[in-house]
Amino acid sequence: MAKITFITRNDEHYILEADSGSLMELAVQNGVDGIDGDCGGVCSCATCHVHVNTEHMEKVGAASEIEQDMLELDDNATAQSRLCCQIDVSDELDGLVVRVAR
């Protein structure tokens, strides 16, 4: 079981628990504002863009080439950007904090 914190653009904190699925699914199921998941998680919409806390970047791992291509189209992308449909929940992610991108 991993506890994951989403911080919305309005600074609302959602502290959610899961043991499977993607971060996007977890966010959508719990109504996290700003995470829409329009493409259903196939890495083609970028409506699940988050910024991962710097100290958690290693845990989360690098974006795939397809994901990087999608992020390059987003003006708000930074070195901490990930599409959270591409991050699977696992015990190792316990304590992860992500911020919903603008």
85 touches ligand FES (CB under 6 A) = yes
Tokens representing residue 86 in the block? 């591409």
* Comparison of 34 and 37: residue with beta carbon closer to ligand FES: 37
68 touches ligand FES (CB under 6 A) = no
Q: Dihedral angle at the C-alpha atoms of 20, 62, 64, 77, nearest 10 degrees?
A: 100
Interface with ligand FES by CB under 6 A: which range of 8-16, 46-54, 56-64, 71-79? 46-54
3-state helix, strand, coil in the chain (%, to 5): 25, 25, 50
Whole-angstrom distance, CA of residue 7 vs CA of residue 3: 13
Whole-angstrom distance, CA of residue 50 vs CA of residue 82: 6
Letters for 24-43 (x = contact with ligand FES by CB under 6 A, - = none) are: x------------xxx-x-x
- Number of residues forming the site for ligand FES (CB under 6 A): 13
Residue nearest to ligand FES (CB): 85
Tell me which residues touch ligand FES (CB under 6 A). Answer: 24, 37-39, 41, 43-48, 83, 85
